[in-house]
Amino acid sequence: MFLTGLASYAAYDPNLARGNDTTPDKGLLGSWLPTWPAGPWWLYWVTQGVHVTLGLVLIPIVLAKLWSVLPKLFEWPPARSLTHLLDRASLLLLVGGAVFELVTGVMNIQYYYAWPVVFYQAHYYGAWVFIAAFVVHVAFRVGRLVTALRSRSLIRELRTPLSATRPEPPDPDHLVSPDPAPPTISRRGALGMVALSSLALLGLTVGQTIGGRARSTALLAPRGRELGMGPNDFQVNKTAAMAGIVPVDDSWRLQLRGAVSRSLSRAELLALPQHTARLPIACVEGWSTGIQTWTGVPLADLADLVGAARTDRLFVESLQRGGFSTATLSPGQVRTPDALLALQVNGADLSLDHGFPARIVVPALPGVHNIKWVTRLTFSVG
C-alpha cells in the first residue's frame, strides 16, 4: 500500500512543474521521484485502484489486530528502559499512523474534509511516519515474530473447532487474561469473520475501480451511479456547474503556443487528422470511468503544428478557475501516440460535464491532469 501510494504521488510529476506538486514542501522525501511514464495505459488505473481498494480491505484486519493487542497499548509503566521506550514510541507512531492513514483515506474517497490541512500533504507525510515506525517496530520484534510463527501451525489452528478451543497459557507480554472466560468463538471463526468482512468491503467497492457495468456493484462508492446520457454516461469527477463552466458558443477557439502561435476553432480541430484510443480515466479516490473510446487530435500533431521541439513539455490551461485547472505534461506524455486533445467520446461529442469543447486524455495520467474545458496549450522548453 505504501508503494502504490508513492506511485500515485509520482504520477502527478511534481518535479516537472510547481503547479503539479500537491506537496511542495516535501524536501528530501521527494528527491527519489522519477518522471512518470505514459504507459502502459493501465498503469495509474491499476496502482491507484489497488491502493484504495487494499486500504478499504485492510480496515477489518487492522481493527482485529488492534483489538487483539489492546491491553499491550496501555501497559504500565510505559517505559522500563531506553530500548523499551523506543519500542513504545514506534508502537505509538505505528498505530497512530495506520489509523490516521485509513481514516483520512476513507474521508477523502467520501469527499468529506473535516480537517484544516490539505489532504495530499497530510496523507503523504502520514505515510512516511507510518512506514518509519513500521520498520523500527519490525526490527525490534522480528525475533519474537519468527518464534511465534514457528510455534504453531496455521492449518492446525484453522481446523480447531470451538469445542476444542482452549485459553492461551500465560505469556510474558500479559496479553492473555489471568482469568479467561469460556471461549465464545474459535480462532477459525475469528479469522473467518475478519476475512468475510474484508471480502464484503472488496465486493462493495472494487466495482468503482473496474468501472463499466461493475460500477453498479460498488454500493459504498460515493460516485457509483451513472452520470450523463448515452455515450457520455460514465462517471464525472467535477461537473460543469461545480466548476463554474457555462456552455461555449462558436466563438471558442483553442490557443496554441510554441515556436509560433495558432488559434483553432472546434470545426478546424475536427478537420485535422483524428486518432481514436480506448483508455480509462482513473482518479486518486480509486474510481475510474472504465475503458471509453476517445477521438481527437494527437497532442504530438498539435505540437508539430506550432513548431514545438520533441523535448518540449506542455502546459495545459482550462476555462475552469481554481482547483486542478492546469497541468504540465512531460515530453514523453505529449509524444505518446494515444495522447489526445479529445473532442468526442464513444462516437459522440463530449458533453459539457465531460469537458466540451475539448479535453486532455493521456494514458496512465491521473484523472485531474486530464484537463477538461481546455482553452490554451503552451509548448515550451522545460
Note every long-range contact of 105-113, with CB atoms under 8 Å and residues 24 or more positions apart, other chains counting: 105/52, 105/55, 106/55, 106/56, 106/59, 108/284, 108/285, 109/52, 109/221, 109/222, 109/285, 109/286, 110/222, 111/222, 111/285
Of 105 and 217, the one with more pLDDT: 105
Structural domain range at position 318: 230-380
CATH number at residue 352: 3.90.420.10
Confidence of residue 24 (pLDDT cuts 50, 70, 90): confident
User: Is residue 284 one of the residues assigned to a domain?
Assistant: yes
Of 326 and 18, the one with more pLDDT: 326
Could you say which of 213, 243, 264 is where a domain stops?
A: 213
The answer, yes or no, to whether residue 369 has pLDDT greater than 90, is yes
- The Cα 46–Cα 44 span in angstroms is 5
The reply to whether 110 and 251 lie within a common domain is no
User: Is residue 173 one of the residues assigned to a domain?
Assistant: yes
The reply to whether 9 and 144 lie within a common domain is yes
The reply to whether 69 and 148 lie within a common domain is yes
- The Cα 351–Cα 340 span in angstroms is 17
Could you say which of 161, 181, 213 is where a domain stops?
A: 213
The reply to whether 25 and 165 lie within a common domain is yes
At 293 the pLDDT is 98
User: Is residue 124 one of the residues assigned to a domain?
Assistant: yes
CB atoms under 10 Å from CB of 57, counted, come to 18
The reply to whether 180 and 294 lie within a common domain is no
The reply to whether 281 and 332 lie within a common domain is yes
At 282 the pLDDT is 95
Q: What is the DSSP letter of 282?
A: B
The answer, yes or no, to whether residue 374 has pLDDT greater than 80, is yes
Span 117-141, pLDDT tens digits: 889 899 999 999 999 999 988 888 8
User: Is residue 269 one of the residues assigned to a domain?
Assistant: yes
Average pLDDT value over all residues in the chain: 90
Domain count of the fold of the chain: 2
What is the average per-residue pLDDT within 12-34? 84
At 223 the pLDDT is 61
User: Is residue 362 one of the residues assigned to a domain?
Assistant: yes
At 226 the pLDDT is 54
User: Is residue 246 one of the residues assigned to a domain?
Assistant: yes
The reply to whether 193 and 260 lie within a common domain is no
- The Cα 228–Cα 225 span in angstroms is 10
The reply to whether 24 and 156 lie within a common domain is yes
User: Is residue 218 one of the residues assigned to a domain?
Assistant: no
The reply to whether 27 and 122 lie within a common domain is yes
The reply to whether 234 and 287 lie within a common domain is yes
Q: Is 355 left (phi over 0), alpha (psi -120 to 50) or beta?
A: left
Span 156-186, pLDDT tens digits: 888 888 888 887 777 776 667 777 778 888 8
Q: Model's pTM, two decimal places?
A: 0.88
Confirm if 36 and 330 have CB atoms less than 8 A apart: yes
- Kind plus residue range of the DSSP H or E element containing 315: strand 313-318
The reply to whether 275 and 340 lie within a common domain is yes
User: Is residue 222 one of the residues assigned to a domain?
Assistant: no
The reply to whether 18 and 152 lie within a common domain is yes
The answer, yes or no, to whether residue 224 has pLDDT greater than 60, is no
At 259 the pLDDT is 96
